[in-house]
Amino acid sequence: MQSCKYLLRRRSSLPIHHFFSDCRNLSIPLKNGFIDDPQNQVLVEGNTSSRTAVLNRPTSLNALNTQMCTRLKKLYESWEDNPDIGFVVLKGSGRAFCAGGDVVALYQSILNGKVEDCKEFFKTIYSVVYVVGTYLKPHVSLLNGVTMGGGAGIAIPGMFRVVTEKTVFATPETHIGFHPDAGASFYLSHLPGYLGEYLGLTGEKLNGAEMIAVGLATHYCHSEKLTWIEEHLGKLATDDPSVIESSLEKYGDLAYPDNRSVIHRIDILDKCFCHDTVEEIIDSLENEATASHDEWCISTLRKLKEASPLGLKVSLRSIREGRFQSLDQCLVREYRMSLHGISKQLPNNFCEGVRARLVDKDCVPKWDPPCLDQVTEEMVDLYFSPPSDYEPELELPTKVREAFF
């Protein structure tokens, strides 16, 4: 049975005037500005009835930059306007789908005083997330390998998300002094119980089977079947979500979280992460660890204590606000937060986190403030305040595009 989300998309989808049942996969000719990218960081595959966008920075785990996001947005808009294209597929090259935004490049831009470049990146990637979340045609993301941060953001709002035994999902932003963004405050807040708070604060990973269990993914298959799925999708001439869903199910496999999975600890997780403050969450975990010597509690505490104290408080509030906001509202708020997070008004924990984790790799970030009790309400409030008078808000085409959530 099709969900209401599918029916809404189906009603709004654009008609396909020509169907070709036996088209072979082929590369789209390099004749327009969207595709003739000298760096080839986003490739295009497909036939007359569908398109596949391929994130192509394998040595960087397909980390996103502004140029890639701009290209994706233009491609998606052009494909949506093309009545002959029924659906769109998104995948990554190499061993990753997408490791997120290229935070090292952002770090270098900040150090070089090019903050405007960072703002443009956030504006562009959040716009892509919104386009995916409001797309009028079926969208299939093949999440084989690393799928983190902004990489998850450009996939999870879409209609279909296929995962494998190689999929690794995480939102690790608190460990680089930032906050889960690119729509993460929306989709994390809608996970069962308080799982979103756990994932957003600790940065812990989920595998493909766990993503299926909690609704982050729609289909699971063994990675060796992805080629079959792509070949089958390439022969389809349709814009009907039910046809695409049947095709994905044809090659699907059953997958269940193993006994060590956090999914089997959801009761204790909810008990500890339901609290209103980070301090109360940590106290609850410490009480559980003392009483039971549970390794999961001990490991979770360690993750929280490694993260940025300010990032933890900001992220908790962000996810809690996401429970009552639409996708576009979350993106507008996250854009505010991201601008404040790289401004000089607050300690630049983002630069320090990236330095420690990804540049110098000493893994000993010097957070400012260094502990939770020194994080003031004013610091947290500033993250959520509107930009200054001369700084525009993120503008999304909400009057003509409505998110199907």
Q: Is 101 a catalytic residue?
A: yes
Q: How far, CA to CA in Å, does 55 sit from each of 43, 96, 98, 121, 152?
A: 7, 9, 8, 16, 13
Neighbours of 185 (CB within 10 A): 30
Nearest to 304 by CA among 278, 337, 268: 278
pLDDT of 341: 92
pLDDT at 17 over 80: no
Please confirm, yes or no, whether 158 is among the known catalytic residues: no
- For residue 154, the one-letter residue type is I
Point out the catalytic residue in the list 86, 92, 100, 101. Answer: 101
> What mean pLDDT do residues 347-355 have?
93
Share of the chain above pLDDT 90, in %: 83
Query: For residue 403, what pLDDT band results from cuts at 50, 70 and 90?
Result: low
Residue 62: which CATH number?
A: 3.90.226.10
Q: Is 150 a catalytic residue?
A: yes
The single residue of 86, 145, 150, 252 carrying the catalytic annotation is 150
Comparing 300 with 22, which gets the higher pLDDT? 300
> What pLDDT is stored for residue 25 in this prediction?
31
The rounded mean pLDDT for the chain is: 88
pLDDT tens, 37-94? 445 999 999 877 999 999 999 999 999 999 999 999 999 999 999 999 999 999 999 9
Say which of 173, 197, 245, 334 is annotated catalytic.
173
Query: Is residue 227 assigned to a domain?
Result: yes
Q: In what order do the strands lie in the sheet with 96-98?
A: 96-98, 146-148, 168-170, 206-207
| Residue 392 located in a structural domain | no
Q: Does 399 map to a domain?
A: no
Instruction: Tell whether the model's pLDDT for residue 399 goes beyond 90.
Output: no
Which domain covers residue 195, as residue numbers? 39-384
Cα torsion 157, 64, 124, 85: sign: negative
Catalytic residue among 80, 102, 181, 288: 181
Structure-model confidence comparison of residues 182 and 346, the more confident one: 182
Whether residue 320 is contained in a domain is answered as yes
Question: What residues does 140 pair with on adjacent strands?
Answer: 89, 160
* Number of domains making up the chain: 1
**Integer Cα distance of 366 and 353 in angstroms:** 8
Return the pLDDT at 286: 96
Which residues face 143 on adjacent strands? 163
Residue 360 domain-assigned? Answer: yes
Question: Is residue 311 very low, low, confident or very high in pLDDT (cuts 50, 70, 90)?
Answer: very high
- The band of 347, judged by pLDDT with boundaries at 50, 70 and 90, is confident
pLDDT tens per residue across span 271-286: 999 999 999 999 999 9
* Max intra-chain CA distance, the chain: 66
Give every CB contact of residue 92 below 8 A, 6+ residues apart in sequence. Answer: 54, 55, 56, 58, 62, 98, 142, 144, 145, 151
Residue 5 inside a domain? The answer is no
pLDDT recorded at residue 283: 97
Tell me: the pLDDT tens digits for 107-153? 999 999 999 999 999 999 999 999 999 999 999 999 999 999 999 99
pLDDT confidence tier of residue 329, bands split at 50, 70 and 90: very high
| Pair 110, 351: CB distance under 8 Å | yes
